[in-house]
A and B are shown apart, each in its own frame.
Chain A
Amino acid sequence: MTIDHPAAVKLKERFGHLHLKVASFRGQTQIEVPGENLTQVVTFLRDDSTLGYDMLCDVTCVDYLNYPGWDKARFGMVYTFNSVAAGQPRLILRVFLGEAQLAIDSLVPLYAGAEWMEREVFDMFGVRFRGHPDLRRILTWDGFKSHPLRKDYPVTGLGERENYPVLDRDSA
């Protein structure tokens, strides 16, 4: 199968030495990028005049723990880009991260809108973003210890919801 996504063609020219893997499913193209080259690749995608990926519309992550037939690292980051002004088709970048090295460059210096999305990924999966200006939890509360969207986290929690002061009529 040949993939003629314009970004895939251009990235192959520019980053041929990285041997980027390209896949396509139902008209959606995704490109696997090594974690250490992410900033470089994304800067190219954004600043190239014909590609012009000027909008980072989503940052999220998938935990592939116990996924049948999985042979890559456990966490798969998903970056979705739109090219609004240049009108190129949507592009998805994937970065796979192992549990030991769960850190990646933040995209906030390139896209300011990445700030809260990266905070959510940090909150839910525990991925550290290097260079993020304010990497705090965003959805769960202060003092929450776990990362609840990991597959090994029980859905009813580890006792967080029971561990709370009780108000009764004698104290209130």
Chain B
Amino acid sequence: MPIEPTSLPDNVLTMNLKKVVNWCRRSSVWPMPFATACCGIELMATASSRYDLARFGAEVMRFSPRQADLMIVAGRVSIKMMPVLHRIYLQMAEPKWVISMGACASTGGVFDNYATVQGIDQFLPVDVYVPGCPPRPETLMEGIMLIQKIIDQHGMPASKRQPMKLSVQPNYRPTPQPQVILGPKLAAALHE
């Protein structure tokens, strides 16, 4: 006999389970920062107050792969580092996503030499590429928003999700950097 939901109390909401799980996941993407070079600095800037990654629920950098669901590979990866990257990726719990941040992680960048991996996607599934050298924090945020879109569409996978290989097309207008306003004394000292 089907249960008749005639008299649900006021504080109960009915909803599509997939939607609510996706909503939870997209609003708490915890990144694992695999920051090996200069792009890592920009990643830190993204998490700091001016850009405030917390607006997207992704500010909790987890240095333990078990607690993270998004790996942000920021910087060049040497061949010697590749086993470490593999291992961290394997240790992350499903579902997991990977952002390749910057020219170096995506293609090797200018470091076309014997010791540098020419794009981590040769050895690892990548969902989103964020271009730039380094990408501005806005671009990285677009990358994370793309991950959120992927989560919206897939969510609760029945089988393993294949990498989407999306690339961010920057469409932001860079905001001007804040003006430094000097007091009269400091300004006079600098002009001397």
Contact surface of A with B, Cβ cutoff 8 Å? 140-141, 148, 153-158, 160-162, 164-170, 172
Please state if A141 and B80 are interface contacts (CB–CB under 8 Å): yes
* A interface SS class: loop
Nearest CB in chain B: distance from A40 CB, A: 37
Nearest opposing residue in chain B for A154, CB measure: B114
Interface string of B85-129 (1 = CB under 8 A from A): 010011000000000000000000000111111100011110000
Please state if A161 and B79 are interface contacts (CB–CB under 8 Å): yes
Q: Which candidate, B23-31, B142-150, B155-163, is the interface stretch facing chain A?
A: B155-163
Please state if A157 and B123 are interface contacts (CB–CB under 8 Å): no
Please state if B90 and A172 are interface contacts (CB–CB under 8 Å): yes
Q: Considering the complex of A and B, which 5 residue pairs feature the smallest CB-CB distances, nearest first?
A: A157-B114, A141-B80, A169-B160, A169-B125, A166-B123
Bound Cα distance from A153 to B115, whole angstroms: 13
B118's contact among A141, A158, A161, A170, by CB below 8 Å, is which?
A161
Residues from chain B with a CB closer than 8 A to the CB of A170 are 160
Nearest opposing residue in chain A for B120, CB measure: A167
23 contacts between A and B (CB under 8 A): A140-B80, A140-B115, A141-B80, A153-B114, A154-B114, A155-B114, A157-B114, A157-B115, A160-B114, A161-B115, A161-B117, A162-B122, A164-B117, A164-B123, A166-B122, A167-B89, A167-B124, A167-B125, A169-B125, A169-B160, A169-B161, A169-B163, A170-B160
Bound Cα distance from A161 to B117, whole angstroms: 6
Say yes or no: is B47 at the interface (Cβ < 8 Å to chain A): no
Which parts of B38-94 form the interface with A (CB within 8 Å)? 79-80, 82, 86, 89-90
Report how many A-B pairs have Cβ atoms within 8 Å. Answer: 52
Nearest opposing residue in chain B for A163, CB measure: B79
Contact surface of B with A, Cβ cutoff 8 Å? 79-80, 82, 86, 89-90, 112-118, 122-125, 160-163
Nearest opposing residue in chain A for B85, CB measure: A167
Nearest opposing residue in chain A for B81, CB measure: A141
Nearest CB in chain A: distance from B94 CB, A: 10
Bound Cα distance from A55 to B55, whole angstroms: 54
Bound Cα distance from A5 to B2, whole angstroms: 101
Nearest CB in chain B: distance from A145 CB, A: 11
Nearest opposing residue in chain B for A166, CB measure: B123
Please state if A169 and B162 are interface contacts (CB–CB under 8 Å): yes
Residues from chain B with a CB closer than 8 A to the CB of A160 are 79, 114
Please state if B160 and A167 are interface contacts (CB–CB under 8 Å): no
Residues from chain A with a CB closer than 8 A to the CB of B125 are 167-169, 172
B113's contact among A155, A162, A165, A167, by CB below 8 Å, is which?
A155
Residues from chain B with a CB closer than 8 A to the CB of A155 are 112-114
Nearest opposing residue in chain A for B92, CB measure: A172
Please state if B116 and A161 are interface contacts (CB–CB under 8 Å): yes
A172's contact among B80, B89, B114, B122, by CB below 8 Å, is which?
B89
Bound Cα distance from A161 to B160, whole angstroms: 28
Bound Cα distance from A160 to B82, whole angstroms: 12
Residues from chain B with a CB closer than 8 A to the CB of A157 are 113-115
